[in-house]
Chain A
């Protein structure tokens, strides 16, 4: 069966299978930076700035790629975040924004998590682009 003859349901099923396989392999989907900016505005922008050195309720996410957790000077992190030992790779961010309280129990971030894997990939692509 060619792709052209697939039904919408079949395409959706194949897409879900692909997402599940990538998730099982611990990989983050390749995201869209432009879409990620919109996801950031909806989900993150009230508490986090993308400006260098600009703290809100949460720390700035400028330069997050590879940054050690709790390393922004003058920001008042929780003890849990200070002791997490995390370095912010795409995988770590993906896990954290999926279930913040499971990854950093006792952390300050009051965010329930983002279930949508594609939206997570997009927003990760966006924040990783902030250099």
Chain B
């Protein structure tokens, strides 16, 4: 089947999809690994991270984050600076018919330095710490403020009970979360920019860098986590200053909320939670009409840590998004005002000796039918996408007795992403309007992820 849409329709289509999958090229796949925390605390990377490398947090890492990144070994003179680089190479089953010019991409076999970051990450005062990352995208060839989380936290006692309470100024609704089940911190922790992603995503996952939020949180009595945040979109001038893409403008503040029960039994631990995000987004800042997004989700995580020789983890989440696309409908970018999106993700991992790791992941996104929103690329007028990711990795250092600890850190890995469905089915229409199999997007990649 051949179908060549007009450039105008393609542009409208791209605009309509903006709210679902914005910014992922620069922010969604960004990796994070911060040895300055290890130097600050005296703890090895493996204390905070499963497998001896970021970002999957152990309970010790969870408490360090919620404590405002301020724990220390008590010694002065620690400089809260780190640097990181990710090199990768990716090969897709079949050449990409429309390589992304913004990534300076070839049709296939793309590789090089994907990103290089510097971090201001660590304790500034007894109660204030930071996680700030500025990243140069080697493929986009530009700098951006990638992540920002500035925290104040303290311990508070009420009678027999005590907890940690804190406030975070941050640039992404899920950046603040201490678990690895939602948004920014979910597997895959690094992936090639030349891959094909995991389909349409809810708004909560598409705002990194384009918003600023103020969140209050607590981990009370070691078990009960609660967080409430209010987010506003940055002005075009602000976005330009940090080189971030424009997702549009919130009509009012976006609200993020999170509740979780967390139980650390040392040998193993689990968490069960709920989360949500609500915002009215004006894709066109000058137009007062907004698309309304209501995201609600549930997540669960389990870790068996034992004596750290054999570590097993399971992270899973489900998100439902209710969409009232008033702007898109009025501007001919959607056939229906009311749409929805449902997303499931699951990842299970095993790590041996904090060195060798394997992870298997499933992803599945289903959307309501909308001929205008999805019809350009879907035979079934929906964005349904599903598949799996398999990863094997080797982290030679990161333990207390490792060579060069805590300065020398590297993870080498191989990752394979396979698709059962893409843009609605096992076949879809590519960017040139030609038929393409979902499995043509299957991508094999190798990565070297290093930090100091």
A residues bordering B, Cβ < 8 Å? 37-38, 41-43, 45-47, 49, 51, 54-57, 74-76, 112
Known A-B contacts: A37-B307, A54-B42, A55-B73. Give 18 more (CB < 8 A): A38-B306, A38-B307, A41-B306, A41-B307, A41-B308, A42-B306, A45-B47, A45-B308, A47-B60, A49-B42, A49-B400, A55-B74, A56-B42, A56-B47, A56-B73, A57-B72, A74-B75, A75-B74
**With A and B bound together, what is the CA distance between A45 and B400 in angstroms?**
10
Across-interface contacts of A42 in B (CB, < 8 A): 266-267, 305-308
Closest Cβ of chain A: how far from B424's Cβ, in Å?
A: 47
**CB closest chain-A residue, reference B71:** A57
CB within 8 Å: A-B pair count? 46
What 0/1 pattern do residues 275 to 316 of B give for CB contact below 8 A with A? 000000000000000000000000000000111100000000
Across-interface contacts of B266 in A (CB, < 8 A): 42-43
**CB closest chain-B residue, reference A76:** B74
**CB closest chain-A residue, reference B38:** A56
Contact-size category for B? 10 to 19
**With A and B bound together, what is the CA distance between A10 and B421 in angstroms?**
60
Across-interface contacts of B222 in A (CB, < 8 A): 112
**With A and B bound together, what is the CA distance between A120 and B58 in angstroms?**
23
Query: Does chain A have a CB within 8 A of B41?
Result: yes
Q: What are 14 A-to-B residue pairs whose CB atoms are below 8 Å?
A: A42-B266, A45-B308, A46-B58, A49-B400, A54-B400, A55-B73, A55-B74, A56-B43, A57-B41, A57-B42, A57-B43, A57-B71, A57-B72, A74-B74
B residues bordering A, Cβ < 8 Å? 41-43, 47, 58, 60, 71-75, 222, 266-267, 305-308, 400
Closest Cβ of chain B: how far from A70's Cβ, in Å?
A: 12
**CB closest chain-A residue, reference B67:** A110
A47 touches B307 (CB 8 A): no
**CB closest chain-B residue, reference A75:** B74
Across-interface contacts of B73 in A (CB, < 8 A): 55-57
B42 touches A55 (CB 8 A): yes
**With A and B bound together, what is the CA distance between A72 and B16 in angstroms?**
62
B47 touches A46 (CB 8 A): yes
Across-interface contacts of A75 in B (CB, < 8 A): 74
